[in-house]
Amino acid sequence: MSSSNPSTTRGPTDGTPTAVPTTPSASATPSASATAATRAATDKLLMVRSVDFLKSKDGQNRREHHTDAYFSDKMIIRRGQTFQMWIEFSRPFNPKSDNLQLQLKLEPIFISSPGVRISVPLVDVLEDGRWEMKIVEQKDNRVRLSVNTLPTASIGRYKVTVESFSQRGRLLYPCTPNDVYMLFNPWCEDDPVYLDNEAQRKEYILNSMGRIYYGTEQQIGARTWNFAQFEQDVLEACLFLLERGQVAMTEWRDPVIVSRMVSALVNSNDDRGVLVGNWSDSFEGGTAPTAWSGSGDILRQYYKSSGKSVKFAQCWVYAGVTTSVLRCLGIPTRCVTNFSSAHDTDLSLTTDIYLDDKLELIKDETSDSVWNFHVWNESWMTRPDLPPGNGGWQVVDATPQEPSQGSYRCGPTPVSAVRNGQVDLKFDTPFVFAEVNSDRIYWQKKPDGSVSQVHVEKNTIGQRISTKAVGSESRMDITHLYKYPEGSEEERIAVETASRFGSKPTVYPLPTEKDVSVEIVMDGAGPRIGEDAKLSIVLTNKSSKQRTASLLYEVMVMYYTGVLKGTVKKERIPVDLKPQETKTIPWTLQHKEYIDHLVDQGALMLSITGRVNQTKQILATQFNFRLRTPDLIITPVEEAVVDKELTVKITFQNPLSQELKNVLFRIEGLGMQSVRKIEHGDVEKLATVTLMEKFVPTVSGSQKLLASMDCRQLTQVHGFADIVVKPK
């Protein structure tokens, strides 16, 4: 936010005032009746001796601005609110002949931009919507100021200079190194990120611990994540990151632009951003994505290396770090997981699967993929750049999937626009719509090269969209925010609205006899790694006639992104169905058949295709499942008290009948400002490991301690404990 700025002379950076002589105006000349003492005082320069921003963590400013949780001892405030400060002068301030002004400057380091300059005048009465300040208390040579900030000011780190005016001249007092950090303000009604629910503000701004969901729609796993937005150096890292965005600081006032910029900067694909993605099964030279359990070390590592990207990330790591950055800057943000998430590469708004004339999957021609799960973010803000009704939650996704306007970023996309199929609205609405709402279409490629549509699966994409519930550890299903119930009139209208903008029309096959159905069923939470995987294939004949078919089943190892690595087992089985019969066929994949083929997260896909002999009906379905991994069990062995050593037991059992090599444990939380790494070495097959670790809690109240295990042979092993720390 710029305003007129009188000419200034920059003073030394040690806070020493610099004089700028001026000629006193006639109106400012003391009257002849003034006492000699008053005249002597007035004739002196008004020198600033010291400035106190009242920036202590438990002081008025930090408490009123909801910034007392930041580990930093800096002056951290939120825009659209007043803050207090004391100024000590060389003599008493005379309101009749003296004057004051603050100069605030945002000065870029990396970009050739004029930055932002703000002048804050002294007034008698503060008015909303203006940069102003007034004296609210005067004691001897000291005055206390109440300074009003704009709810639309650019966020960032402001350098502050005090200008003091007297009849003898003007002095500048640079307040370096006491800079002012200004953030977005969800507590201010005039800020575009305003959130009117206090419980939601506590969750989406102030909560430094969250839950990120993963797995499959029938096997939803959860891991605790340390967003660490208040930890040491994280705020500085976030502002450092913004400067890498090559966006003028005048634009830092707009949460739409800031969140879009962050979605590009958290990945390293085209702007030397924070995280390098890696979806292979080799993570040499970096950290496996499943080993991270928080954002603090990632952001500190990026900041302290002057912008060297951190290795490695997958979608939940990108989403965790994005949540950290946006919450730190003051934008309400949450992690959201979409199960059976489509990656529509051609913006057809469909997910296309290609089969050959024998109904076998053509793997190299299926460019669209369905991720078992995909984690993105939602951020809360108004959207004055869009038609009314599109404010509120916006999808922001830093995982680099497809370029948007030349850069790997996504959003902010209005969730309401996705729900209504308004894919013509910015930003990236067609892509997000297809992730949650596309139909899965099977195409058969004939020997002559022609392609025909043979089967459609609806209501398979975009399942059980999940986020952490407000104020609890439970999962909240928000699928209804993204789409209307399948088959409802509203849902069909949304899909038809969206399909008008697709790159190719959606052609559904002509009605044929479809009286046989096939589905794959899993009992309970599903198989554990190290055990045989058991599922059931259920076929139903709804007709009054006998039906026969030849089914091809193929089980493939896959990355959670839907990319197939290879086939583990493949077999054709004949099926004979009596009229109105439902037949359940047990299916087993033995431990020895899969153990040497698994990739990260133990994901597998069972694909079934077939043709009913009597009607030529095509049967096709796919079922994604995972082999569940054990948890780390974390148990405090004594009462937790501030500044008193606490012993914690961490237990892990190797579920595999093979040795684990070079096991590394990572522990964070409990108020620690960095991750503790423990190189344990090798773990024998089926062996149990017990660690006894000591911590000294520094903050009272309910805390979390997180742990994860990093090992080449076994991934996605983690755990957490809730620990209540008592005051001294």
What is the DSSP code (8-state) at residue 48?
A: E
Q: Which of 66, 343, 374, 718 is catalytic?
A: 374
Query: For the chain, what's the residue count?
Result: 728
Rounded Cα distance, 418 and 631, in Å: 36
Rounded Cα distance, 494 and 66, in Å: 40
3-state SS of 528-584 is ECCCCEEEEEEEEECCCCCEEEEEEEEEEEECCCCCEEEEEEEEEEEEEECCCCEEE
Rounded Cα distance, 27 and 625, in Å: 83
User: Active site includes 397?
Assistant: yes
Rounded Cα distance, 522 and 533, in Å: 10
User: Active site includes 374?
Assistant: yes
- Residue 278: how many CB atoms within 10 A of its CB? 20
DSSP string, 108-162: -SSS----EEEEEEB-SS--TTS-EEEEEEEETTEEEEEEE--TTPPPEEEEEEE
Q: Which of 238, 315, 335, 410 is catalytic?
A: 315
Between helix 315-329 and helix 255-265 the angle, nearest 10°, is 140
Please choose, from the candidates 9, 50, 42, 49, the residue with its C-alpha nearest in 3D space to the C-alpha of residue 166.
42
Rounded Cα distance, 340 and 216, in Å: 7
Rounded Cα distance, 43 and 30, in Å: 9
What is the DSSP code (8-state) at residue 628?
A: B
Q: Collect all residues with Cβ–Cβ distance below 8 Å to 496 and sequence separation of at least 6.
A: 421
Rounded Cα distance, 709 and 689, in Å: 11
Q: Is 507 helix (H, G, I), strand (E, B) or coil?
A: coil
- Residue 45: how many CB atoms within 10 A of its CB? 18
118 pairs with which residues across the strands?
104
Is the CB of residue 649 less than 8 Å from the CB of residue 634?
yes
What value, to the nearest 5°, has the Cα angle with vertex 92 and ends 88 and 94?
A: 120
User: Active site includes 410?
Assistant: no
Residue type, 678: I
Is the CB of residue 643 less than 8 Å from the CB of residue 697?
yes
Rounded Cα distance, 578 and 542, in Å: 10
State whether the Cα torsion 537-542-543-545 is positive or negative.
Answer: positive
Burial of 174 (0-12, 13-18, 19+ CB in 10 A): buried
Please choose, from the candidates 578, 583, 579, 512, the residue with its C-alpha nearest in 3D space to the C-alpha of residue 544.
579
DSSP string, 278-290: --SS--TTS--GG
Q: Which of 397, 428, 439, 600 is catalytic?
A: 397
Q: Is 598 helix (H, G, I), strand (E, B) or coil?
A: coil
E strand or H helix at 220 = strand 219-226
Rounded Cα distance, 477 and 468, in Å: 9
List residues with catalytic annotation.
315, 374, 397
